[in-house]
Structure 1
Amino acid sequence: MSDGRPAIDLDLRLVRYFTVLAEQRHFARAAALLHITQPSLSRQIRNLEHQLGVRLLERTAKGSHLTEAGEVFLPEARALLRSAAQAAARTRAAAQPYRLIVGYTADLIVTPAVRSVRDRNPDADVQAVHLHWGQAREALLEHRVDALIARLPLATDGLHVTILYDEPRVLAVALDHRLAGRESVTLDDIADEPLPRVPDAAWNAYWRIDPRPDGRPAPGGPLVTAAEDKLELVAAGQAVAIVPGGLRGLRPDLTTVALEGIAPGHVVLATRSGDRSRLLAEFSRAARRHLTSS
């Protein structure tokens, strides 16, 4: 029953722009993740605010923060995007019952498991797509991928997560760094070394080991949104970084040193809780069989 007010025809693309900006709290970083220009993002957010008739963000010289209306709209926006993605995915699944899309992050290799499923199901459409680490979980929940191979940390609510293998966490340094060539180092050895930060708090806690075991905060460091920028800072001697020991193709101007007393990282397979498709079950078996640290 209508309340007399005109219906609002929301543009889902603008809603998605808002959610990314709300997570980043910074127009430049959000624009970079969305692969659009900062002025364009500003215009799109203003368009969304005009559609809703409310102001969603307050812009400041240091970034942006959500208004009270923005705080209310954010979880609704996420739910709206998720519902739209689920509707589209279920519709496609009805027309393409033999489709599986596997997402993967960073330099993780999924080819052996994907090929195994494809070879056993020649009529199926089995694809692999690379995902930015900061958007991988949402891609899974929004049905843009059906399975995800990624490194922890990863928020697990709504997901089923299986550890495939462990890999050590090591220290990446420039070739001319004072610690280069050491057999191993401890956290005390890098107590004053800057480490790059990312916008994700859980990721910072895990990969910067922040706080340290004795409760001290990890030293500060420059903010980055891309792994390539982090490695550039390390190569330039402006920081050191804790990275996965299984990282492939490390830059030739960098080296790694073992970190003592640090628990290993984990490479995992994540799927949506409750998904029971035959192809997904087959991929899960193939991942446990073929995707290892060797």
Structure 2
Amino acid sequence: MDLDTVRTFVAAADAGQFQEAAAELAVTQQAVSKRIAALERNLGVRLFTRTARGAELTIDGQAFLPHARDLLRVAERAVASVRTGRRPLRVDVIASRGAAAGLLRGFHHAHPEVDLDVVMLFDIETAVAAIHSGAIDASFRAVGVPGRPLPTDIESVRVLDEPLELLTGPAHTLAGARSVTVAQLSGHRIWMPGIVPGTEWAAYYDDLVAEFGLTIEATGPNFGSDALLDTIADTPALATFMGGQTRLVWPAGHGLRRIPVTDPTPVYPHSLLWHRDNPHPALATLRAHLAATTTGRDATGTWAPDWVLPR
């Protein structure tokens, strides 16, 4: 059903005259008559009766009018749902407990007027495809895996270098240290069952191992963070890496220790990705907020693989 004919019908019904409806719609009276005639042919009924005073609704026209108004309201809501600036800004944060989610929470607190849809996508290929399709407006990622450069129409800016910390149980030999150097970690077993080959974080930790001669094990099923914390708490021979801004809660009896890593401090670099032709005004607001509130990128005494540097 042509919405222009429905809109014309409602205007004529409200005005009671085709001429007034034409003036309201900025079309000719002839155009109004043609649209009404087309709608009547489509419905197979007469909607108006011409009178000396103008045009009056028939019984069928009166029955159709409330439904015509509903059609126009639904159409307006459909348009508003995708109209730039009126729909929520859709942002991928990978995981709810990570640093990227914290960055977006900070943005929400600073700009509560901006409607947000938060999504969590697993890998960078899925995120880039979602940016291309318009399913999301932006994604937080490490840019980018060696040999897989970003498409030329995807922009990125590095927004946060997150220091890695060593997480140990209370009986681990390093549990009492106020900090540990990367060299001190050589020979210790670092267990990270969440590393998935082919992902950005797998490439990151592969480079970390190669650079400093560490031992990172990704063996065993990944039962999630709670199971990882239980194991680290109960196994003196194991430790794990955790982002300094990762938000996790564990039972007090676990006695877990978060220990800064130094000389140098490995940092996991988070970048914001978006399509360069995306016109959503809240995307510019998010970028400005991140530029103003995040610091410490490429700081002295830190380490990150060369491939994660901004283009």
Q: TM-score interval w.r.t. the shorter chain?
A: 0.5 to 0.7
The alpha carbon displacement at 1:193 in A equals: 0.9
**Is 1:196 equivalent to 2:187 in the alignment?**
no
Is the CA contact 1:113–1:290 (under 8 Å) kept in the aligned structure 2? Answer: no
- 1:220 counterpart = 2:217: yes
Which stretch shifts more, 283-292 or 251-260?
A: 283-292
2:83 corresponds to which letter in structure 1?
Q
Name stretches of at least 5 consecutive residues in structure 1 with no aligned partner: 1-90
| Equivalent runs, 1:51-70 vs 2, <5 Å | none
Describe the shift of the 1:284–1:96 C-alpha distance in structure 2 as closer, same or farther (beyond 3 A): same
Shift of 1:176: 2.3
Q: C-alpha separation between the residues in 2 aligned to 1:290 and 1:177?
A: 36
On the 8 A contact 2:90/2:119 being kept in 1, the answer is no
1:167 Cα deviation (Å)?
2.6
Q: Percent identity?
A: 16
State the AA in 2 paired with 1:105.
I
Contact 2:209 2:216 in 1 (8 A): no
Preserved contact between residue 209 and residue 218 of structure 1 (Cα < 8 Å) = no
Q: Residues 291 and 250 from structure 1, CA distance in 2 versus in 1: closer, same or farther, beyond 3 angstroms?
A: farther
1:1-294 → structure 2 map (5 Å cutoff): 95-97=82-84, 98-99=86-87, 100-106=89-95, 107=97, 108-109=101-102, 110-119=104-113, 126-131=115-120, 134-135=122-123, 138-142=126-130, 143-150=134-141, 152=142, 154-155=144-145, 157-158=150-151, 159-190=154-185, 191-197=187-193, 198-201=195-198, 202-207=200-205, 210-213=208-211, 216=213, 218-225=215-222, 226-237=224-235, 239-251=238-250, 252=252, 253=254, 254-260=256-262, 261-290=264-293
Q: Residue type matched to 1:172 in 2?
A: L
Change (3 A) 1:145 1:136: farther
- SS of the residue corresponding to residue 210 of structure 2 reads coil
Cα-to-partner distance string for 1:128-170 (whole Å, 9 max, x where unaligned): 32415x34651453233212235x3654613322222323211
Residue 172 of structure 2 contacts residue 238 of structure 2 at CA under 8 Å; is this kept in 1?
no
TM-score, length-scaled by structure 2: 0.52
Residues 141 and 272 of structure 1 are in contact (CA less than 8 Å); yes or no, is this contact kept in structure 2? no
* Whole-angstrom distance in 1 between the partners of 2:216 and 2:158: 30
The alpha carbon displacement at 1:175 in A equals 2.2
Residue 228 of structure 1 and its aligned partner are, at CA, apart by: 4.0
SS at match of 2:215: coil
Distance 1:220 1:95, change over 3 A: closer
What RMSD in Å do the two structures reach over aligned CA positions?
Answer: 3.3
CA contact (8 A) 2:162 2:269 kept: yes
Please say if residues 92 and 139 of structure 2, whose CA atoms lie closer than 8 Å, have aligned partners that are also in contact.
Answer: yes
Alignment length, in residue pairs?
195
Distance 1:281 1:146 in 2: 11
- Structure 2 unaligned spans of 5+: 1-77, 297-311
Query: Counterpart of 1:234 in 2: which secondary structure?
Result: helix
Q: CA, structure 1 residues 248+96, in 2 after alignment: closer, same or farther (shift >3 Å)?
A: same
**Residue 264 of structure 1 aligns to a residue in which SS?**
strand
Q: 1:192 to 1:291 in 2, by over 3 A?
A: closer
